[in-house]
Amino acid sequence: MEKQSHFDFVTSIGLMILSLVMIVDSYRMAIDVGGPLYASPGMLPMMLALLLLLTSTMLLRRSIRSGGFGKNLAGFLSWFKSFRNSRKAREMMLGGLILALYTFIMAPRLPFWMSTSIFMILVMAILKATSITKSILITALVVGSIYGIFQVIFHVPLP
């Protein structure tokens, strides 16, 4: 609960900022389009922003009640420091980085069979999932099946 209180404190502030930005932007939409506010494209976004402001204020109030302003801030900073040095965080970062590499660099630039083969063999090798021969076999089976079904049978282009 203590940890959740720190998170709630920080997220509620972030959400309040987001809702304020949205209120301003929704008002700008109403001015841009003209006509009454209730018919403008900013009507629902403004309502949602107000609801978000209300709910995040409730969350902030709850977190301050349970831990106080200073204690929440200090608690979050100390959690952040320990998270930065934790093994889980490092592993998550590495996992995320590999997935990002495949998503943003390899998939849009390389042919599907090449990007997917590199990605799968690389991940299984890094994680020591199985022997390299088995990794290559699994990769060939997966890539071949996807390629055969989508590209050959259904004529659907792959990334």
Partner 1 sequence: MDWQYFLGVLHFIVQPMSLFTMVVSVFFGLIVGMLPGLTATMAVALLTGLTYKLSNEVAILSLVAVYIGAISGGCQSAILMNIPGTPASAATAVDGFPIGQRGEGGLGIFIATMSSCVGTLTGTLCVLLLTPPLAVLALKFGSYEFFLLALFGVMICGQLTAGTDPLKGWISGILGLIVSQIGMDGMNAYPRFSFGVLDLMSGIPLIPVMIGLFGFPEILYGLVSSTARAQVKTTSLEMKKGFGIIIRNKLNLIRSSLIGVMIGIIPGVGEDVAGWLSYWAEKKSSKTPEMFGKGAYEGVVAAETGNNAFAVPGSAPAAVLLAALWLHGLRPGPLLMSESPGFVVDISVYMAISAITMVFLALIVSKATVRILSVKSTILMPIVYVLCTVGAYVISNSIFDIYLVFIFGLVGLLLREMSYPAAPFLLGIILGPMADNSLRRALILSSGDPSPFFTRPISLIFASAIILMALTQLNAFGWLRKLLVHSELKE
Contacts with partner 1, residue ranges (CB under 8 A): 4, 7-8, 11, 15, 22, 25, 29, 32-33, 36, 38-45, 47-49, 51-52, 55-56, 58-59, 62, 87-88, 91-92, 95-96, 98-100, 102-104, 107-108, 116, 119-120, 123-124, 127-130, 138, 142, 146, 150, 154-159
Nearer to partner 1, 17 or 142 (CB): 142
Q: Within 13 Å, how many C-alpha atoms sit on residue 105's CB side?
A: 8
Minimum distance, C-beta of residue 41 to partner 1, in the bound complex (Å): 4
Angle at alpha carbon of residue 38, lines to 34 and 44, rounded to 5°: 105
Nearer to partner 1, 72 or 119 (CB): 119
Which one, of 37, 19, 18, lies nearest residue 27 by Cα? 37
Minimum distance, C-beta of residue 82 to partner 1, in the bound complex (Å): 14
Minimum distance, C-beta of residue 2 to partner 1, in the bound complex (Å): 13
Supply the DSSP string of 22-64, one letter for each residue. HHHHHHHHHHHH-S-GGGSTTHHHHHHHHHHHHHHHHHHHHHH
DSSP code at position 106: I
Minimum distance, C-beta of residue 98 to partner 1, in the bound complex (Å): 8
